[in-house]
Amino acid sequence: MDLINTIIDNTILNQTFQVWISVLFTLMMLSFLFRDNPLYKLGENTFLGISLGYGWVRAWEIAIVPFLIRPIKDAYLDFQPYDITLIFWLLMGSTMFFRFSKTKAWVANYYFAFVFAYVAGYEIPVQVQNLFVQGANMMKPLFEYPTFFEISKWFVIIFGTFAGLMYFFFSKPHRGLLGKTARIGILILMINFGASFGATVMGRIALFIGRAQVLADNVVPSIIITISITVYLIIYFKYIKKEPGLDDELMH
């Protein structure tokens, strides 16, 4: 056991090893930008495997043992009337496994019915309340804050919503006033999509910056691993894989 601990301390838990692995996997994933390759696949599957394994272990330690196994053990040793609820919900939850059976799948429907009923009963009132809050905010005095931006924004919101809806009104041909309103509607929708797309790009770049910082902070491992991966990719695409596969996206 000591030997295993020593090996783990000097490999996985070693700071230098962690830095190299971090840089290696970052560059392995980025190698996809050149072309789909085995290094990317290895990185992708390692990430998925570790995420699932880690998630399962944490779920077992933090959720399943303290909220299910331990209470059942306690109920077995010292049964109390309220333990019936635990057993009831355990059985109800277990009915989900009937989905694997072709003939007995209906058993799970009772549990789903309960979940749907709960979600509908809870969500509908709070969502409606939320809509009222949002709606009530549209009915504020126009000159509450007498600045150009504050006053004009209400016209944009109200007319923009109306124009956007008119674009999807197909019961009448889009000609004349309706056509012009629909045209403004699509422009407003495009501005909205553009803003969302811009925010998305900014978010994605921000995520990449997190990885770029790792590479920039560890120059030596980054350079060595980049050269190694480049050499590998040249050899792989020149001598090993010459024909593109079905799932190989060609970049041009």
Partner 1 sequence: MDVLISRLKKLDRRWIFLLIFLSCIIPFWIPSLFRQEFSTSKETQRVYDIINSLNEGDAIFIDWAFNPTLQAELLPMAEQAIKQCFDKKIRVFIYYPDLTAISLGENLVEKIKKEPRYTEIESGVDYIHLGYLPIGVDMMMFSMYSDFKSTFGKEGKIFKGIKTFDDIKYMMSFAGSAHPEYYILLQRRFGFKMGVGVTAVTGPDFIPYLQTGQLDGMLFGLKGAAEYENLRLKNLNLSTEELNEEKKFNQQANAGMASLTLSHIIMFIFIGIGNLIYFYERKFKKSN
Q: Which is nearer to partner 1, 81 or 210 (CB)?
A: 210
Are 72 and 86 within 8 A, CB to CB? yes
Number of neighbours of residue 222 by Cβ within 10 angstroms: 20
User: Contact region for partner 1 (CB under 8 A) — 38-46, 82-90, 105-113, 205-213?
Assistant: 205-213
By CB under 8 A, tell whether 217 contacts partner 1: yes
User: CA 156 → CA 133, 151, 162, 226, distances in Å?
Assistant: 20, 9, 10, 50
Minimum CB separation from partner 1 for residue 93, in Å?
11
What is the distance between the alpha carbons of residues 127 and 118, in angstroms, rounded to a whole number? 14
**Which CB atom, from 165 or from 209, has the smaller least distance to partner 1?**
209
Contact assessment for residue 25 and residue 45, using Cβ atoms and an 8 Å cutoff: no
Q: Is residue 1 part of the contact set for partner 1 (CB under 8 A)? A: no
CA distance 229 to 28: 8
Q: Would you tell me how many other CB atoms lie within 10 Å of the CB of residue 27?
A: 21
Per rule CB under 8 A, is residue 20 in the interface with partner 1? no
Q: Can you tell me which of 41, 70, 172, 204 binds partner 1, judged by CB under 8 A?
A: 204
Footprint of partner 1 on this chain (CB under 8 A)?
Answer: 30, 33-34, 51, 54-55, 58-59, 62-63, 67, 122-123, 126-127, 129-130, 133-134, 136-137, 195-196, 199-213, 215-217, 251-252
